[in-house]
Amino acid sequence: MREKIAGLLEQIQSFEAESREHLEAFRIQYLSKKGLIPALFNDFKQVAAEDRKEMGMLLNNLKQKAQEILDLQQERFVAVKENKIQMDTSLPAPALGGGRHPLSIVRRDLNSIFERIGFKIAEGPEIEDDFHNFTALNFPEEHPARDMQDTFFISKSPDIALRTHTSSVQVRVMEQGKLPIRIIAPGRVFRNEAISARAHCIFHQIEGLYIDKDVSFADLKQTLFYFAQEFFGPETKIRFRPSYFPFTETSAEMDVSCNICGGKGCNICKYSGWVEILGCGMVDPNVLEACGIDSNVYSGYAFGMGIERITMMKYQINDLRLFFENDMRFLKQFETLV
């Protein structure tokens, strides 16, 4: 028996598994119920009483070694397998289903609606300085209008902040001095607001700006009427209400007839039949001058709206937080849209 144990010990210690199958064969040969080691345990019954202590130790040691070798080599195979998954960057990506985020669907829609009437897409930085976010837009220093938009500051003097609106892109485009200008600027904006079903500290806006000779409020109205019908459908009506923005004069807010109840009144439009969707107006001459454009020669209009708001209306989404939570049950509902 002593020789048998020594022989097996030698065999298992020189074992080197070449594959998972090879390792499994090792387990079956030595450790399975009908394997060589349990067979030795069977023989143990016949061992003379005085040798039992020594044989017992040798046998237990053999079994332990075999188990260790098995575990160790098994680990190696698992490690290699995982490694392959992580490291083989040449493998083709598995076909994941998936679709576009509703905000992306709407942003693309908006881009195409405005591109069809000659608007180009412009971009600006999300981290902005005070001049582009406020000063050039006719927000004087210490003016209370700055409080209309709770700002996330990054530094004070120089004043650097996360932009509170996409109107900062207007300034960046006007500064370049290439006229006429006809752009839209979709992008992310930031405000220090309490998060609720109707507000978030991050959201998206789209800005429009048209500067040329003889641009009038009638041009603005017609452009926005076209947009409302393209986006919400041909039955959609619009109305303007006077408003105030430091960077436009005259300023207005635009409502669209509620697309849920068709204007009859429901809880979305608070039984008024109308939903406010954007701010707009004629670019204030002070803004043109601050950006180096002669306000005696040029005039223009601007508008800005929240993308979340109109997406919620279009797809009847009742909680703005859903856009940012990436809950698959929500996102899957948009899979078939492009």
Taking CB under 6 A as the binding criterion, the range among 17-25, 27-35, 275-283, 314-322 that sits at the site for ligand PHE is 275-283
Cα 283 to Cα 249: distance, rounded to the nearest angstrom = 6
Pick the stretch among 38-46, 67-75, 194-202, 301-309 that binds ligand PHE (CB under 6 A).
301-309
CB of 149 to ligand PHE, least distance (A): 7
Which residues have CB under 8 Å from 136's CB, separation 6+? 171, 287, 290, 291
As a whole number of angstroms, the distance between CA 237 and CA 333 comes to 28
Would you count residue 245 as binding ligand PHE (CB under 6 A)? Answer: yes
Per CB under 6 A, which region of 9-17, 22-30, 83-91, 300-308 contacts ligand PHE?
300-308
- Between CA 181 and CA 213, with CA 277 as vertex, the angle to 5 degrees is 20
Rounded to a whole number of angstroms, the minimum distance from the CB of residue 302 to ligand PHE is 4
Pairs from 64-73 (Cβ < 8 Å, separation ≥ 24) = 65/9, 65/12, 65/13, 66/12, 66/30, 66/31, 66/37, 67/31, 69/12, 69/13, 69/15, 69/26, 70/23, 70/26, 70/27, 70/31, 73/15, 73/17, 73/23
Piece of 96-104, 128-136, 177-185, 274-282 that binds ligand PHE (CB under 6 A): 274-282
Q: Is 299 in the site for ligand PHE (CB under 6 A)?
A: no
Shortest Cβ distance from residue 77 to ligand PHE (Å)? 59
Tell me if 248 contacts ligand PHE by CB under 6 A.
Answer: yes
Question: Considering only CA atoms, which of 280, 109, 117 is closest in space to residue 183?
Answer: 117
Interface region with ligand PHE, contact rule CB under 6 A, candidates 86-94, 179-187, 279-287, 311-319: 279-287
By CB under 6 A, is residue 254 in contact with ligand PHE? no
Instruction: Give yes or no for residue 280 binding ligand PHE (CB under 6 A).
Output: yes
Among 107, 163, 165, 200, binds ligand PHE (CB under 6 A): 165
- Residue 281 binds ligand PHE (CB under 6 A): yes
CB of 320 to ligand PHE, least distance (A): 16
CA 241 – CA 243 distance, rounded (Å): 6
What is the CB neighbour count within 10 angstroms for residue 297?
A: 11
Under a CB-based contact definition with an 8 Å cutoff, are residues 235 and 262 in contact? yes
CB nearer ligand PHE, residue 12 or residue 278? 278
* Positions in 43-102 near ligand PHE (CB under 6 A): none
- Residue for token pair 């940012």: 324
190 binds ligand PHE (CB under 6 A): no
Subset of 199-238 contacting ligand PHE (CB under 6 A): 207
CB 238 within 8 A of CB 224: yes
**Interface stretch with ligand PHE, choices 39-47, 67-75, 124-132, 302-310 (CB under 6 A):** 302-310
Assess 167 for contact with ligand PHE (CB under 6 A).
yes
Question: 12 or 220, CB closer to ligand PHE?
Answer: 220
The residues of the shown chain that bind ligand PHE, judged by CB under 6 A, are 165, 167, 207, 245, 248, 279-281, 302-304
